[in-house]
Every structure is written in structure tokens, then in C-alpha cells.
Amino acid sequence: MKFGVLLRRSCSLVLALSVVCGLHTETFAANSYNDMDYITSHVSLKVPSGLYISRPEGKITTSADSYFITGGSNPQASLSMNGKAVQTRGERGSFGVFVSLDQGKNVFTFRQGDQQETVTIIRGSTAGSTATTKVISSMAPTYDCATYSGETMTLSCVAPSGASVTATVGGKKVQLKQQAATAVEGVPATFSAKIEAWDVSGTKNLGPVVYTLNGKTQYESAGSVFLTGRNDKLAVQVKNTAAVIYKDANRSAFIETAKLGGIDTVSDISGSLYELSTGGWISKEAVQPLTSSGALTLNVSETIYGRTSDGKGEVYSFPGEARPMFRAYQDTDTFYVTLFRTSFSADAAAQLQSYMQGSEVFSGVKVTSEGSSTQLAFTIAGDMWGYDITYGKNGGVNIFAKNAPQVTSGSQPLSGFTIAVDAGHGGSDPGAIGVPGTDGAMEKDITLATAIAVQKRLESLGAQVMMTRSDDSNPSINERMDATTDADLYISLHCNSIGYTQDANKPQGTEVYYYESRSAALAQALSANVSGYTGRTNRGAKFSNYRVTLNSYAPAVLVEMGFLTNPVEYDDMSSKTGIFRTANAVGDSILAVFG
């Protein structure tokens, strides 16, 4: 655990909590820039007006014993369901009513003035009402994955029940079997078959699995199958900007973050995970099987030192052909990096030590060989804000040590900060659907409107803000992380939700996720401030491993601002007032923790 940074900032967290309790903002308030009209001038999130029902859409049949009916209304007029007043509504008129269902026909009539909407829900068997399909979907594998000769491969897909489905991979064809009978033919059903992986030499890319429906129409899986010989080593390369390495196959604990480009060999396979030869387990989806690994051992004969052009940190480079896995962590006064399958020559170690004389971050380094690995223990002299470990284009390792940005005095105290703001989802990915359904603002719309407001507020405090998106686009997770590696803080904005089989009026509040311990203070302050400024419940800061929180170069958090499925919170999060308060909460949290 990296306790040093967290302990040094504990006094700042007290200030953050006092800001919430007393709504004190006189320190670094910059009130002259706190202009609601300017900060929310772009906000025009759509919420339908008048009485309407968004869910269910028309008459439905369900086997459930309860249902959450949602819709909207005129917030200035009373609303009733079956003659009883609907008590809980958002400020813009959104509502949700959790109803119990009797067997047979259930009718719910909503009235507001001269308007009336009726909902009919039939509780009973849904047989015969299930939609049918004419295509194959959910084809395995959904990503490139590998297995060994002699192991059993399971090929599966979803296809119309009663159909004939075959799968072909590597020239081998197998008939798939429907796994469960259905009352009606044509409804989606799971088909699968097991096939023993045949002998190969080395690692072969067999390509995607081709699924054939009724001997005619063919479909290809999104992922390809790789096969490694019984006595050969499977090599994999990290394809995500950052990926979690787990302690065991049960994902019981996190060991470290693997970085894009790292290469290791596999010692075991279990379910959706590979066990790495250097220790720990990694998700198959996070790595790419290789047909040729190239060099696996990094022999360091020289080191290179330099400062970044923006003066924000130092880079120590160890040239070579291999891209070894590593473990890294920072405590109060030491930064430890263990490079697996790496050796340092005496000259390289001495050269690295000589660089310490000109370093602004470190005062010394100890180089220790541990079997086939090398540990570097840097003594921290300055205020080390974070670090990043990457690989060179042709191999080798680069270690970036980052200086802490400094809050200044005056009306723009964040002048030295570069802050990344990520609006979750976007484009074809709407995220969670709110109370009005697709006729109203969805998660992607609310996160973007809020992110732009946060950008304006932080810029008014002097910060340079980097947006992962400023329009209705959907950058990949890698793109969201790669575009912001120069940031001093990373804040990803999202909205929470639950399924509509539950009473969605109940779950509420703000929660903030973090991974690196240096991010905990910011996560706690944001959860307290966003909830305090907006009147939502503080669900707290929570340790987790969301991809965007795996950044080690700066404190990084993912903020779940509230529940879109809760009518009260939906209306607030989509309003100018709610967005303005959230933007202020973000700005004040940063000032409280790092000021």
C-alpha cells in the first residue's frame, strides 16, 4: 500500500469536509468568477413536459410480481394514480411509482387536471410473447484468446431455437447443440459444443470462429482463437492503457497495474484469466496473444536521464528490446520499481546513481538484483506527485517521476494545474437511461453538460482543462486515458442506475471510486462535497479498479453523481442549478484537498 501521499494530505481532507458541513468557500473562493449564467450557459437538457408515461411503453405481460412505472408531469399541478396522490416527484415533474401486481390484468390510471394516462400490466406467463430471432448473436469468443493443445474449447452462440447451428475454427467443424428446450421455436436459445484443441507447434492464430445457421448464413465471432503447443510457451502483450493484475484466479485482491505494451508468458489458464509467469493473474480481455514474443529479457547496459519539456517531471530510460512486466509502489520516502526479467550492468547502475545529483525528485537510488529481476529503490527528496512507467517504441522501459503542482494565491489558485475531465459514455453508448427514457436526457448527455460546466468552473480558477470529449462522441477507454497523461488530476463523471424491477425511488446519492491510495483524499472530498452541495446522500469513497482510475501519474477518480433512475435525482442532475452546484463542488474539493 502507498500510505505516504495519503498521510501527508490527511489534514487537507479535514478542510474538505468542513467545506461541506458549513458551506465555507471563502478560502480560494474566487467568487467574482462564480457566475451561474456563464457556467451553465450551454445547458439545455431535454425533459418532456406534461403528463406522460415512459415505462412501460404500452400494454405489457410480465411474470414479475412488481413493477416500477415511470413518467413525467407538470410539477406545478397535483398528480394521482388510481385516485391517490403521487407523493414523490422531481423538481421538473419526473416521477416513479413502484406497484405490486396481482395475477392477471392490472390497470393504473394517472390523472393530472384534464390529462389522463392509463397503464395496463398483465401478470402471468410470458410464453408466446417472447420475441423471436432469425440471426446468430453472442458468438464466442468476443475477444482474442488462447488455449493449449489437448485442452477443451467451448464454442457457443445464441441462435433461434430449433435451428441447426455449426461452428468452424481452424478448419475443424462441429455441430452445436441447443442447451435447453423452449416452448416456442425461433426464440433466442444458447447453442454450444466442446472440442479438444489439436496439436500444433508454437502459437498459431486460427482466426475467428465461423458460425453457420441452417447450413446457409454465416457469422464470424469478434475474437480470434489462438492455439499453443503442449510444450510451448504462450506469450501475451497488454493491449489496454492499464490493466489490473490480480493475486489469484478468484480476483480476490489487486497486486499491480500492468501497462500498455508489457509482455509476459503464461503459466496457467483459468476461466477468463491468464496466470503470468512473473506472478499474478490478468484478464484475457486485457491482453493480446502473440504468435512470436520477441525478446523477453531486458539487459540494461546504459541509462538515459532527462527532464520533460514542460518541467513537470523527470524521465529515466533503460533502452533495450524487451518489454518486461513490473511492480511499482510509493511509500512515504521511497519509490520502488521491480523490473522482471531485467538485468543491470555495473556501469548502468553507476550511471543511474550519478543522475541523482541533478534530480529534483530523488536524492539517491539503490539497484539490487533479485534472481532474474532488478529492483530500483529511489529515495524521494521532493514532493513526488505520481509516476508513469511505459515502454519504448522498440522496447525498453521509461520511468516518469512527476513533480507536485503548486496551488497559488489570488483569484486563480489553480493556475499551475492541468486537470483532465472525462464525460462518461457518448455517441452510440448512451450509458444509463433516465426516467423519461430515450425522449429525455440520458447519461451521456448529462455527463457532457456537467463536464463542460466543470471545465468552465476550473478554468475560472486558473486551471488548464483537458476534455476527453466535448461533443457526442465516444472515445475508447484507451483514448480517454492516453489523451490525458499530462494531467495533474483526472476526474471521470458518470451517473448511477438500478434495474426497474426494484423501487428506484430508494437508491440515491453520490459515490466516488479510486484505485491508487493518493486518490483517496480527492475521492472522499468529492463524494462529501457533491452530495453536500446538491442535497444528495453521501455514499462515500470506494476502492475499486475501474480502468480510468488506474492512472498512477496523478490522482484519478470516477464520480457517480447520482441515480438517473431516481426521479428526484434525475431532475436535479439535468437542471442548470444541479449542474452548477456540482461544478462548484468539484472546484472546491480540489482546492480543499490540494490547497
CATH number at residue 102: 2.60.40.10
pLDDT above 70 covers a percentage of the chain that reads: 94
525 and 563 belong to one structural domain? yes
Do the domain assignments include residue 176?
A: yes
491 and 528 belong to one structural domain? yes
Residue 242 maps to which CATH number? 2.30.30.40
Q: How confident is the model at residue 126, as a pLDDT?
A: 62
283 and 425 belong to one structural domain? no
Mean pLDDT of 272-280: 97
Q: How confident is the model at residue 250, as a pLDDT?
A: 95
Q: How confident is the model at residue 252, as a pLDDT?
A: 87
Boundary (domain end) residue, out of 368, 403, 438: 403
| DSSP assignment of 577-591 | HHHHHHHHHHHHHHH
Q: How confident is the model at residue 536, as a pLDDT?
A: 97
Do the domain assignments include residue 451?
A: yes
214 and 347 belong to one structural domain? no
Strand-strand pairing, 145-148 and 217-228: parallel
Do the domain assignments include residue 137?
A: no
- In contact, 217 and 453? CB cutoff 8 Å: no
pTM of the model: 0.88
* Per-residue H/E/C for 281-344: EEEHHHEEEECCCCCCCEEECCCEEEECCCCCEEEEEECCCCCCCEEEEECCCEEEEEECCEEE
Task: Give the single-character DSSP code of 429.
Answer: B
Mean pLDDT of 302-318: 94
Please tell me the distance from the alpha carbon of residue 518 to that of residue 331, in angstroms, as a whole number: 10
If residue 477 lies in a helix (H) or strand (E), which one and from where to where? helix 477-482
Helix (H, G, I), strand (E, B) or coil at 526: helix
Boundary (domain end) residue, out of 403, 435, 457: 403
Q: Which residues contact residue 230 at a Cβ distance below 8 angstroms, ignoring those fewer than 6 apart?
A: 148, 149, 150, 199
Please tell me the distance from the alpha carbon of residue 253 to that of residue 544, in angstroms, as a whole number: 10
- In contact, 211 and 221? CB cutoff 8 Å: yes
Do the domain assignments include residue 494?
A: yes
- Choose among 322, 318, 371, 327: nearest CA to 347: 318
338 and 263 belong to one structural domain? no
- In contact, 453 and 491? CB cutoff 8 Å: no
What sign has the CA pseudo-torsion 77, 80, 86, 89?
negative
Instruction: For residue 130, name the pLDDT band (cuts at 50, 70, 90).
Output: low
Task: Give the single-character DSSP code of 29.
Answer: -
Q: How confident is the model at residue 15, as a pLDDT?
A: 33
390 and 264 belong to one structural domain? no
Q: How confident is the model at residue 8, as a pLDDT?
A: 26
- In contact, 25 and 413? CB cutoff 8 Å: no
**Domains held by the chain: number:** 5
If residue 14 lies in a helix (H) or strand (E), which one and from where to where? helix 10-22
- Choose among 516, 487, 498: nearest CA to 422: 487
420-464 pLDDT, tens digit per residue, is 999 999 999 999 999 999 999 999 999 999 999 999 999 999 999
Residue 18 has pLDDT above 60, yes or no: no
483 and 344 belong to one structural domain? no
528 and 440 belong to one structural domain? yes
495 vs 310 pLDDT, higher one: 495
39 and 84 belong to one structural domain? no
Residue 171 maps to which CATH number? 2.60.40.650
Residue 166 has pLDDT above 60, yes or no: yes
Do the domain assignments include residue 453?
A: yes
Residue 200 has pLDDT above 60, yes or no: yes
Q: Which residues contact residue 566 at a Cβ distance below 8 angstroms, ignoring those fewer than 6 apart?
A: 96, 504, 505, 506, 507, 508
Do the domain assignments include residue 298?
A: no
321 and 451 belong to one structural domain? no
Please tell me the distance from the alpha carbon of residue 500 to that of residue 565, in angstroms, as a whole number: 8
Residue 93 has pLDDT above 80, yes or no: yes
Instruction: For residue 282, name the pLDDT band (cuts at 50, 70, 90).
Output: very high
What value does the mean pLDDT of the chain take? 91
Location of C-alpha cell 536521464:
305
**Helices and strands (DSSP H and E) totals, the chain:** 9, 39
- What are 369's three cell numbers? 538484483
- In contact, 347 and 383? CB cutoff 8 Å: no
- Give CA torsion, residues 307, 312, 315, 321, to 10 deg: -120
326-381 pLDDT, tens digit per residue, is 999 988 899 999 999 999 999 999 999 999 999 999 999 999 998 999 999 999 99
159 and 210 belong to one structural domain? yes
What residues make up the domain containing 528?
Answer: 3-45+407-594
Q: Which residues pair with 300 in a beta bridge?
A: 344
Max CA distance (Å), the chain? 88
- Choose among 489, 536, 547, 483: nearest CA to 513: 547
440 vs 411 pLDDT, higher one: 440
What sign has the CA pseudo-torsion 420, 426, 431, 436?
positive
151 and 278 belong to one structural domain? no
Q: How confident is the model at residue 128, as a pLDDT?
A: 55
- In contact, 178 and 186? CB cutoff 8 Å: no
Do the domain assignments include residue 96?
A: yes
Helix (H, G, I), strand (E, B) or coil at 133: coil
Mean pLDDT of 487-500: 94
